[in-house]
């Protein structure tokens, strides 16, 4: 019933994360009415993502000539301290604190079951061989920088088991009352943790 380019657009866009058929349909007609310049600009923005490479060590996208991203290339970063993160943007959040001087490993979003996807297993074994070859088999510390949720806890247990032989110490981020947070509204887990880890 709809012209084929619209049908095809809806088919492809409704499979993207967070976009359903309704939103895809809306976008199709938005582009058609917005005109050729908008269409070109958007197609180009997608196309240009092809120029990015994933860092061969931490899997963060970069534009460098070599295989490594800026952080992995940086001689001043401590390669013996490795933060495992789910999302590329978690790196940005952690870098903003200016408190972390180690390197990263991006795993991608972890399943709520604690089961690892093939690509995640691949990245972990990649990390293990990096630790074996370049750190003589043991990292100083692996920080499991996962969310403080039940799923994060579950995945942290799985990952800690996997990585135990490869680090002197495996840690998670501290749990406590966030800046601006009030005791009245803190749940008992958070409050208990804040008591255990007093400043």
User: Which of residues 65 and 187 has its CB atom nearest to a second copy in the complex?
Assistant: 65
What is the CA angle 26-40-49, rounded to 5? 95
Task: Report the residue number, 8 or 138, with the smaller CB distance to a second copy.
Answer: 8
Least distance CB 33 / a second copy (angstroms): 7
In sequence order, which ranges of 97-186 are alpha helices (DSSP H)? 118-134, 150-163
- Least distance (Å) from a second copy to the CB of residue 12? 4
CB 85 within 8 A of CB 108: no
Q: Coil, strand, or helix at residue 111?
A: coil
Nearer residue to a second copy within complex by CB, 25 or 193: 25
Nearby residues of 119 by Cβ (< 8 Å), 6 or more positions away: 108
Cβ nearer to a second copy, comparing 36 with 179: 36
Q: Catalog residues that contact a second copy under the rule CB under 8 A.
A: 1-6, 8-9, 12-13, 16-19, 23, 25-33, 36, 39-52, 54, 61-63, 87-89, 92, 95, 108
Closest contact distance (angstroms) between CB of 64 and a second copy is 9
Phi, psi of 143 (to 5 degrees): -95, 120
HSE of 87, CA atoms in CB hemisphere, 13 A: 7
181 secondary structure, DSSP code: -
Token pair belonging to 149: 């949720």
Taking the least distance from each CB to a second copy, the nearer of 139 and 146 is: 146
For residue 35, the minimal CB distance to a second copy (Å) is: 9
Shortest gap between Cβ of 48 and a second copy (angstroms)? Answer: 4
């Amino acid at each position: 019933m709809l012209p084929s380019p619209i049908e095809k657009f809806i088919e492809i866009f409704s499979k993207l994360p967070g976009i359903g058929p309704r939103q895809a349909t809306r976008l199709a007609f938005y582009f058609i009415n917005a005109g050729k310049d908008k269409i070109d600009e958007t197609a180009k923005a997608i196309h240009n993502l092809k120029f990015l490479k994933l860092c061969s060590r931490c899997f963060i996208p970069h534009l460098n000539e070599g295989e490594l991203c800026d952080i992995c290339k940086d001689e001043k970063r401590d390669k013996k301290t490795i933060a495992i993160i789910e999302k590329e943007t978690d790196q940005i959040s952690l870098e903003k604190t200016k408190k972390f001087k180690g390197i990263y490993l991006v795993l991608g979003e972890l399943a709520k079951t604690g089961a690892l996807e093939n690509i995640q297993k691949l990245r972990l074994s990649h990390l293990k061989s990096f630790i074996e070859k370049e750190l003589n088999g043991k990292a100083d510390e692996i920080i499991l920088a996962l969310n403080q949720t039940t799923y994060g806890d579950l995945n942290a247990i799985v990952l800690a088991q996997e990585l135990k032989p490869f680090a002197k110490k495996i840690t998670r981020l501290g749990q406590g009352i966030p800046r601006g947070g009030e005791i009245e509204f803190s749940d008992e887990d958070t409050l208990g943790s804040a008591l255990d880890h007093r400043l």
